[in-house]
A and B are shown apart, each in its own frame.
Chain A
């Protein structure tokens, strides 16, 4: 029947439209990752070069192993070189009497190649380290990037400037995301304040982020302050611009209340915790993460 065909076409059209529409709308907040993509690209490049170095050695594995054994004996005499290839060349110089001419030639060529590769790797490593969010270690090594709270600069609700250095000032920071229309979020403000008091003695703190106050909307700030006051919550609440990396991070948060445990280096400990801590199970789960962070902090 014609009618049925028309209806089917209309349905198919609507379905396609919906998929297309969501492609653009739904991803509105998904672009905060551009930094991450470039870091991954660089990481991949570094890996490629490192693989080439390994390939060189694998070609004459036994020979290189002989060299390493010889180097071991003379470890103290080898001059310090930041470039591994240069280091190998310097070492070769010291142990060259242990090798035949051909072997030396192979080893020297290989070491020079490695030196050149290292020269390429070094600037890439620096770029990679610079792209890591605030929390990552300064050595910028090739560990899988630990999820970290993005670097930010902002203010607290009383107008004081804050930035992500608050993480380094605390053994553990509990970051709680909430919004003013969320009754269960408001309900746990009292418990969060109590937690803040407890953590203060342990060298930690609770920090709240009311997502309505991002961008410093004055009405939202006064509403948030009233709510905090009504619950007697005195811990710091902060905000930052919504188009920053931290703003994107906050924008991606969909369910409230959400609580993160951040360690001293700014890395996120465990998974995000959803739900109010006025619930016993949630509080227990949160406490576990806090203890983990504190333990790691005192171990370092």
Chain B
């Protein structure tokens, strides 16, 4: 297959960027999107040009490093996958492919397609944990957790922190990301003690870092590689509101 690639090139955070056009020929459909970029980069090096910088690591859709905005969609034209799990057979032959970094005020571009996502770490540092010291835990079977609650917690916890939800959102909101952590812990008895503090602190930090508000579009849910439901945002809102007016649940 042959492709025309229009790739965002930007030297660093302070420089302005532009789309650079590359032609790439003889790519097989079984090549993953990141492998396609490997091929392009090696061709560029052999031609004495500088390769395209992009984040990637595990190449199996679990580390959350890869983060490309492809033809207007985070992680490109397939559902429930990350960029590294996107295969070129999903494109038409001779297609023109636009490749951009995540676009969000809270994720400044570092170079080319690489953005700074440390804002996510900061949100979790604000309260995305259970305060238990190592060595102080009771025996694991002390508190049974119903299978249903454990499964719901696992659904929420499957977030890999890639940031596609923010990139997909017209407001650049991180609500699905925050909700996934809050909801994962809120479904477990051990997460209840700090539930109020957690929801408030994480939401406050999200606002402080420049993420936008949620207007219930659902684009985050549509583009989440792990298929995390916006029902978890409802759970976050409930936790948050309950904290404002604590009373019987």
The judgment on whether A and B are partners is: no
> Which residues of A are interface residues toward B (Cβ below 8 A)?
none
